[in-house]
Amino acid sequence: MHPTWVIAKRELAGYFDSLVAYILLIVFLGLTGLFTWLIGADVFLRKQADLQVFFEVAQLTLLLFIPAITMRQFAEEKRTGTIELLLTKNVTNRQVVLGKFLSCLLMVCIALLFTLPYYITVANLGNLDHGATLCGYLGLILMASAYISIGLFASTITNNQIVAFLLSLFIGLAFHFLFDAIGSGMTGWFGSFFKMLSISNHFDSISRGVIDSKDIFYFATIILLGLFLAEWNIGKRD
Amino acid sequence: MDISIQNLTKTYGFQKAVDNISFEVKTGEILGFLGPNGAGKTTTMKIITGYIDGDQGEVFIGGKAVKSGETKRHIGYLPEHNPLYTEMPVIDYLAFCASIQGMDKGLIPERIRYMVRVCGLDAEKHKKIGELSKGYRQRVGLAQAMIHDPEILILDEPTTGLDPNQIVEIRELIKNIGKEKTVILSTHILPEVEATCDRILIINKGKIVADGTAATLRKQAQGQQVLQVRIEDGSTNDIFEKLRALPSVAMVDILDQAANRFEVQSVQDAASNRDVFNLCVKNKWALTEMVPFETRLEDIFRDLTLN
Interface touch A237/B52, C-beta < 8 Å: yes
Residues of B within 8 A of A92 (CB-CB) are: 69
Q: Say if the Cβ atoms of B83 and A85 lie within 8 Å.
A: yes
Minimal CA separation from B169 to chain A, in Å = 24
The domain locations on chain B are: 3-212, 222-302
Q: Whose CA is closest to B130, among A153, A156, A80, A120?
A: A80
Residues in chain A closer than 8 A to B100 (CB atoms):
3, 6-7, 89-91
Are A90 and B51 inside 8 Å of each other by CB? Answer: no
Chain A partners within 8 Å of B81 (Cβ): 81
Q: What is the pLDDT of residues A109-129, one digit of tens each?
A: 999 999 999 899 888 888 888
A4, A9, A10, A17, best to mutate vs chain B, most B CBs in 10 Å: A10
Taking contacts as CB-CB distances below 8 angstroms, the residues of chain B near A88 are 49-51, 72, 75, 77, 79
- What's the confidence (pLDDT) of residue B307? 63
Please check the confidence at residue A200 and state whether its pLDDT lies above 90. Answer: no
User: What one-character-per-residue DSSP string does B36-65 give?
Assistant: -TTSSHHHHHHHHHTSS--SEEEEEETTEE
Contact yes or no for A3 and B105 at CB 8 A: no
Residue A66, number of CB atoms within 10 A of its CB = 29
Instruction: Tell me how close the Cα of B142 comes to any Cα of chain A, in angstroms.
Output: 12
Q: Which pTM was predicted? A: 0.85
B51 chain-A contacts, CB cut-off 8 A: 84, 87-88, 237
User: Which of B83, B100, B144 has the CB atom closest to A91's CB atom?
Assistant: B100
Interface mutation vs chain A, best among B53, B64, B100, B155, most A CBs within 10 Å: B100
CB contact under 8 A, B100 and A88: no
Q: Which CATH class is domain B222-302?
A: alpha beta
| Topology of the domain covering B3-212 | Rossmann fold (3.40.50)
- Shortest CA distance from A81: residue in chain B: B83
Residues of A in contact with B84 (CB under 8 A): 82, 85
For an interface test with B, give the residue of A72, A78, A90, A98 to mutate (most B CBs within 10 A).
Answer: A90
ipTM attached to this prediction: 0.89
CB pair distance less than 8 Å for B51 and A14: no
- Tens digits of pLDDT across chain B (307 residues): 889 999 999 998 888 889 899 999 999 899 998 888 888 899 999 999 999 988 999 999 988 888 888 888 899 999 988 999 999 999 999 999 999 998 888 999 999 999 999 888 888 889 999 999 888 898 899 999 999 989 999 999 888 777 888 888 888 888 888 888 899 999 877 788 888 888 999 888 888 888 888 777 777 766 667 888 888 888 888 888 888 888 888 888 888 888 888 888 887 777 788 888 888 898 888 888 888 876 677 777 777 777 6
In this structure, what is the dihedral angle of CA atoms A224, A226, A230, A231, given to the nearest 10 degrees? 10
The full DSSP string for chain B is --EEEEEEEEEETTEEEEEEEEEEE-TT-EEEEE--TTSSHHHHHHHHHTSS--SEEEEEETTEEGGGSTTGGGEEEE-TT----TTSBHHHHHHHHHHHTT--GGGHHHHHHHHHHHTT-GGGTTSBGGGS-HHHHHHHHHHHHHTT--SEEEEESTTTT--HHHHHHHHHHHHHHHTTSEEEEE-S-HHHHHHH-SEEEEEETTEEEEEE-HHHHHHHHH-S-EEEEEEESS-HHHHHHHHHHSTTEEEEEEEETTTTEEEEEEPTT---HHHHHHHHHHHT-EEEEEEEEPPPHHHHHHHHH--
CB contact under 8 Å between B79 and A84, yes or no, is yes
C-alpha to C-alpha distance for B183 and B31, rounded to whole angstroms: 6
CB contact under 8 A, B83 and A90: no
Chain B nearest-CA residue for A88? B51
Cα Rg of chain A, angstroms: 19
Residues of A with CB under 8 A from a CB of B: 1, 3, 6-7, 10, 13-14, 17-18, 80-82, 84-85, 87-92, 237-238
Helix (H) or strand (E) holding A150: helix A130-156
Helices A213-235 & A199-207, crossing angle to 10 degrees?
140
pLDDT tens-digit readout, A71-120: 999 999 999 999 999 999 999 999 999 999 999 999 999 999 999 998 99
